[in-house]
A and B are shown apart, each in its own frame.
Chain A
Amino acid sequence: MGGTPPGRRVLWATSIATLVFLCAPIVIVVVVSFNASEFIQFPPQGWSLRWYRNYLGSRQWLDPTLLSLRVALVTTVLASVLGTAAAIGLTRGRFRGRRALELFFVSPMVVPTIVLAIGLYLLFARFRLVGQPLVLYLAHTVVASPLVIVIVSAALRTTDPAIELAARSLGAGYLRTLWHVTLPAIRPAVISGAAFAFLVSFDEVVLAIFLGGPATTTLPKRMWESVRYEIDPTLTAISTLLVLIPIVILGGVELVRRSARGATT
């Protein structure tokens, strides 16, 4: 039903052009990261790993990377716990205003980050907390939790609440049912939500530049400072790593989910 063959061909051509537009910039960054010359050239005249050595050999890049990892890990834990708890309450409860509450919980995904950043700055500045890692943990948890809520809620809607009722009627308490019945059923979704939460925090720029101080410079903040003034080829090496991380993490999670789905069906 895709139309006549020539119509199909035009459709394929435009779609491939769009996909090239989407993917080419990423391929180009990865390729030029192996460039040997001082300037970014495409295609590179010579190949080397010098920009990776530059990255791995410099404290000004490694310290922010370690901080980003720390912030992302704390955010992942906070967002997974808070998000899963909210998702369970929202999907298993029936009450007026539930839809509005769901909307409220996902709204941080669309609130302009710069607006949230300025609000949080005004709040934390009063307590002289700006520049502390704690501020980044809290701020990133706000923007990471909605993803966990959406993903876990979707999984809860497809699991049968009757199994939980069965456990309860057989004498298990609420918490025991939660731990032994509900959570195992949604484990793949919780892991997937946690992975997204990690990436949201690890890549987050705007909150980091407004709320981070000199001592709390995350990797994206450091990259932002660098990219605004000059184009340092070291950034291409870091960018390549940032392209690979989501592919490895989310690709891995997707494989786990597939095998879990295969096992249950």
Chain B
Amino acid sequence: MTARRYWRSREGLTVVATLAFFLAVYVYPLTRLLAWSLFSPGFTLQHYARLFAEPAYFRAFRNTAEISVGVTLLALGLGYPLAYLMSVVSARTRAVLVVLVLVPFWTSVLVRTFAWMIILGRRGLINQLLTQWGLIDRPLALIYNMLGVQVGMVHVLLPFMVFPLLGVMTRIDTTLVTAARSLGASPRQAFLRIFLPLSLPGVSAGCVLVFLLAVGFYITPALLGGEGQVTFTTLIELVVRDLLDWSFGASLSVFLLTVVGVLFVLFSTLLGLDRLTGQGRA
């Protein structure tokens, strides 16, 4: 069916209402951002130039890259063994393990970040325990620094690594591994040369997804980061809230949106979209 005939069909009509809503309340506001970033009132690129001119802004850029890469690698390091275990155990054990990942996944990000504040804060549980045991005299700085941001973000984003990995791993034909073993491969060889390469699509999809969510993440860096951890998103908030500089805030937003858009298209070509949320049925 051509596009034109589709829109005149009844199926087309059911999409039109949603499409109209999205154009009005989703696309239009984002194009307004583009307009704000480019005109003031005449056409100008000055708001984008500032992004690269000021070292303070460039630092936010570098922080975001550093945090996002770190969080992605940590999530992969923790998520891969967990997903692998989930893919090899019995269906019943897997169901239990999936629930243990799903319950935190379903819990509000704000609640989980608050939990880390209770645990890692100056008068938090870890500092209380270490002081009680006499291991430290002064509380350790565990939040309002890079450590706090990364711990909090890995906690939130880890399921986004585990579920794409699990989706790919459960589809791997395990008879291939058995065949390798029967032909004399050691378990390590069978894993490294058969299972690992076959699981790589899940690795790349999980990494792109976690990275793109980390880049646009606001709540956890805002609550667990210190002054040295200004990220792209917290910079946007600072610029529009405290400096009331909407044009610059808009140009930062458009820049961030472009980065995320490219990553999103990359992700969708790496892995079917159904697995973006299809975790429950993975």
Listed in ascending order, the chain A residues whose CB lies under 8 Å from chain B are: 1-4, 7, 11-12, 14-15, 18-19, 21-23, 25-26, 28-29, 32, 39-42, 82-83, 85-86, 88-90, 92-97, 101-116, 118-120, 122-123, 138-139, 141-142, 145, 147, 149-151, 153-154, 174, 199, 203, 205-206, 220, 223-224, 227-228, 231, 235-236, 239, 242-243, 246-247, 250, 254
Contacts and interface: CB of A to CB of B under 8 A. Distances in A.
3 closest pairs, A vs B, by CB? Answer: A112-B216, A119-B29, A89-B15
Interface string B224-250: 000000000100110010000010011
A224 B111 CA distance: 10
Contacts of A3: 187-188, 191
Nearest to B96: A19
A228 B17 CA distance: 39
A89 B233 contact: no
A82 B21 contact: yes
B275 to A, nearest CB: 10
A104 B85 contact: no
A203 B114 contact: no
Contact of A95 (B2, B14, B263, B276): B2
A123 B29 contact: yes
Nearest to A98: B6
A153 B11 CA distance: 13
Contacts of A250: 102, 106
A139 to B, nearest CB: 7
Contact of B109 (A4, A97, A138, A205): A205
Given A82-B17, A242-B107, A103 B118 contact: no
Contacts of A42: 118, 125, 128
Tell me whether chain A's interface is mostly helix, strand or loop, or mixed. Answer: helix
22 contacts: A3-B188, A11-B84, A15-B82, A22-B101, A22-B155, A25-B104, A25-B155, A26-B104, A42-B125, A95-B3, A108-B22, A108-B26, A110-B216, A116-B29, A118-B249, A141-B21, A142-B22, A203-B110, A220-B108, A227-B117, A246-B106, A254-B280
Nearest to B32: A122
A174 B12 CA distance: 13
Contact of B26 (A7, A26, A40, A142): A142
B36 A122 contact: yes
Candidate in B32, B111, B195, B260 with the most chain A CB atoms within 10 angstroms: B111
Interface string B207-220: 00000110111110
B45 interface: no
B208 to A, nearest CB: 10
A93 B178 CA distance: 43
B253 interface: yes
Contacts of B3: 95-97
A11 B25 contact: no
B62 interface: no
Contact of B11 (A88, A102, A139, A236): A88
B168 interface: no
A18 B154 CA distance: 11
B59 interface: no
Contacts of B190: 1
B273 A111 contact: no
Contacts of B174: 1
Contacts of A228: 223
Contacts of A199: 106
B6 A95 contact: yes
Given A86-B19, A93-B11, A116-B29, 13 more contacts: A14-B81, A18-B82, A22-B155, A25-B104, A26-B103, A42-B128, A89-B16, A94-B1, A112-B257, A114-B236, A119-B29, A206-B218, A242-B107
